[in-house]
Amino acid sequence: MEQNENTTSTPELSTTPSAGGHPLPQDAQGPATSKRRIWPWILALLVGAVVIVAVISGVRKGRADAANNVEPPRIATIKTATARVGSIGYYVQAIGTVTPLATVNLYSQVSGRVMAVHYVEGQMVHRGEPLIDVDPRPYEAQLKEAQGTLQRDRGVLAQAEMDLTRYKDASAQQAISRQTYEDQVQTVEQDRGTVQNDIGQVEYAQVQLSYCHLSSPIDGRVGLRLVDPGNVIFSGGSNPLVVVTQLEPITVVFNVAEDDLNQVRNEILHRGSLVVDAFDRSQQVKLATGKLLTLDNQIDTTTGTVRFRGQFANTDLRLYPNQFVNARLLVKTLQNAILLPTAAVQHNGTQAFVYIVSGNTVKLRNVDELTNEDQVAAVTGVNPGEVVPITGFDKLQDGAKVIVEGAAPVQPTGGNADGGPSGGSR
């Protein structure tokens, strides 16, 4: 019989020569190969560990170096002032506008040619001084005509009155009829009316003639020239021929909050007049000192303010019409107030505060600023004799260390200082 060819085959094993020359089975090489594959991972882990240790050491060293290099807090060097008791003015402050007491625009009331201009631009003029002449000849002729008519009609009236006298005597003797006498009476009345009308025509012509000569109605300064000799002007024109503005005295109109109205009125009742100062836009230069002239008769409901008017002599002409100024009304003088330099009072929003020097440190304290004048502020919340810094605020905070250079004394002003307001007045 033939042998069965479906015999089970045995898989061949690959061999690797051993050290003794005998081949080893493939399965016998596994552990050595696995070790060679693990070693790179072990090395990578070791290198990573070394790097991590180095980084951590560097960070710790950097922190230590930074801690060693931190500078101690700087000590501020300051100048100081001492709070003291004194008097200071209590002011109401507002923005105002310089307003003349009178501004006159002169228009022509007759038509004609300008014959002469008697003023120089910007000239100060007095009441009654001639400014412009218009050709008067047509109006002189009208006046003469009216005067001639009046003279003629007066003669007619005189003749009629003489006839009336004769008619009266004749009527009494019954030489003429009663009707003739009465007609003459009416004729005289008519002639009297005609004469009266003629008088009116003469006066009208005289007025028209006077309009040919324009003069200043007030003392003041004329503006820029608006017409020249030779120009023809017309009665009722819309453009003025010249503008005259009164400068001495002059007023400033400013608005005061209604909350201050009663206090101001009470002071007016007790003292009669209040002092008003006018400062420039920067609030540093005093332009003039005057008095409160009057106040409006009602409160503006839109703004909640009342208009005040102060009057100034303005002899040096430092106040100019329509100029914006800072008006400062002295309401009263605060007695026994705590005074500090305005430089010592700092603000955080609407809250005022100061630093109080205690030894070599400062403490922050909130205060209320009542008013200020001439770089001096009146406050509450500070005791007389306490020392406050006036410099070095960029380095100060609550509890900061300081070195004091010296003290700057505060002088009370008594409400009569000439310096500018510091912005703390109401």
Distance between the two ends of the chain, CA-based, in angstroms? 136
Determine the average pLDDT of the residues in 166-176.
Answer: 87
The burial class, CB within 10 Å (0-12 / 13-18 / 19+), for 244 is buried
pLDDT in tens, 293-324: 999 999 999 999 999 999 999 999 999 999 99
Q: What is the pLDDT of residue 372?
A: 84
Determine the average pLDDT of the residues in 210-218.
Answer: 96
Concatenating the DSSP letter of every residue in 338-366 gives EEEEGGG-EEETTEEEEEEEETTEEEEEE
pLDDT in tens, 61-78: 666 555 555 555 668 888
Q: What's the CA gap between 16 and 278, in Å, rounded?
A: 116
Residue 88 pLDDT > 80: yes
Q: What is the pLDDT of residue 411?
A: 56
Determine the average pLDDT of the residues in 184-191.
Answer: 94
Q: Are 417 and 372 in contact (CB under 8 A)?
A: no
Determine the average pLDDT of the residues in 123-144.
Answer: 97
> Which domains occur in the chain, in start order?
79-87+334-408 (2.40.420.20), 93-100+247-332 (2.40.30.170), 102-135+212-245 (2.40.50.100), 136-211 (1.10.287)
Residue 136 pLDDT > 80: yes
Q: What is the pLDDT of residue 302?
A: 93
Integer angstrom CA distances of residue 315 from 247, 287, 403: 8, 11, 51
Residue closest to 331 by CA, chosen among 234, 386, 262 = 262
Please name the residues in contact with 21: beta carbons below 8 A apart, sequence gap of 6 or more: none
Q: Which amino acid is at 212?
A: C
And the tokens for 210?
């006077």
375: number of CA atoms within 13 Å, CB side? 9
Determine the average pLDDT of the residues in 224-251.
Answer: 95
Percent of the chain with pLDDT over 70: 82
Three-class DSSP category at 68: helix
Rounded to the nearest 5 degrees, what angle is found at the Cα of 243, between the Cα atoms of 240 and 244? 150
When the pLDDT of each residue in the chain is averaged and rounded to a whole number, the result is 85
Determine the average pLDDT of the residues in 223-238.
Answer: 94
pLDDT in tens, 322-334: 999 999 999 998 8
Q: What's the CA gap between 298 and 295, in Å, rounded?
A: 9
Q: What's the CA gap between 389 and 407, in Å, rounded?
A: 9
pLDDT band at 388 (very low <50, low <70, confident <90, very high): very high
* pTM tops 0.85: no
